[in-house]
Amino acid sequence: MFRPQIKVVDCTVRDGGLMNKWQFEDDFVRQVYLACSEAGIDYMEIGYLSSESAFSRDVYGSWRFCAEEDLQRVIGDDEKKIKLSAMADIGRIDYDDIPPKSESSLDMVRVACYVHQIDAAIALAHHCQAKGYETTINVMAVSTVGPRDLREALDDLSQSRVPVIYLVDSFGAFYSEDIDVLAKHYMDRMPDKTIGIHCHNNQQLAFANTIAAIINGVNYLDGSLYGIGRGAGNCPLELLVSFLKNPKFKVRPLIEVIESHIIPLRKKIDWGYFIPYMVTGMLNQHPRAAMAHMESDEKECITDFFNQTICSIDLV
Do 54 and 173 lie in one domain? The reply is yes
pLDDT, tens only, 17-43: 999 999 999 999 999 999 999 999 999
Q: Are 108 and 134 in contact (CB under 8 A)?
A: yes
How far apart are alpha carbons 65 and 14 in whole angstroms? 10
Do 260 and 297 lie in one domain? The reply is no
Question: pTM for this one?
Answer: 0.96
Do 136 and 187 lie in one domain? The reply is yes
Do 247 and 285 lie in one domain? The reply is no
Partnered with residue 46 across adjacent β-strands are none
User: Side chain identity at 178, as an amino acid letter?
Assistant: D
What backbone torsions phi and psi does residue 33 show, to the nearest 5 degrees?
-60, -45
User: Side chain identity at 144, as an amino acid letter?
Assistant: T
Q: Is the pLDDT of residue 79 over 90?
A: no
The CATH number given to whatever domain includes residue 214 is: 3.20.20.70
Do 16 and 33 lie in one domain? The reply is yes
Neighbouring C-beta atoms of residue 37, cutoff 10 Å: 18
Residue 2 lies in a domain: no
Q: Where are the beta strands (DSSP E) in the chain?
A: 7-10, 43-48, 83-89, 108-113, 134-139, 164-169, 194-199, 220-223
pLDDT, tens only, 128-168: 999 999 999 999 999 999 999 999 999 999 999 999 999 99
Q: Are 201 and 227 in contact (CB under 8 A)?
A: yes
Which structural domain, as residue segments, surrounds residue 104?
A: 7-266
How far apart are alpha carbons 241 and 36 in whole angstroms? 11
Do 257 and 283 lie in one domain? The reply is no
